[in-house]
Amino acid sequence: MIIVQQTELYKIRRETETVNTRMAEAAEVNKSLNAEKEKLSTAEYIEKVAREQLGLVKPGEVPYIPAR
């Protein structure tokens, strides 16, 4: 009976370690994603994307397109 309980306890401890490791990894991913979200939400980044990828300009600005 004691051996069975010790075996079960060992399995539970291993599972706990595995879950704790996965939780730590998920926390790191979450931290990284939150940092990226903050960066992508800044007015400066949004303006950069609007200008570079969408070709938008502010009112009164004249876009400059270099000749190739």
Domains of the chain by residue range: 2-52
Indicate whether 65 pLDDT > 90: no
Q: At what angle are helices 43-52 and 2-40 packed, to 10 degrees?
A: 70
pLDDT at 34: 98
Helix, coil or strand: residue 56: coil
Give the side-chain half-sphere CA count within 13 A for 60: 0
- pLDDT tens digits for 30-59? 999 999 999 999 999 999 999 999 989 999
Cα 34–49–39 angle (5° rounding)?
Answer: 20
Residue carrying structure tokens 């070709």: 55
pLDDT at 63: 83
Task: Supply the mean pLDDT for the chain.
Answer: 94
**What Rg do the C-alpha atoms of the chain give, in angstroms?**
26
pTM: 0.65
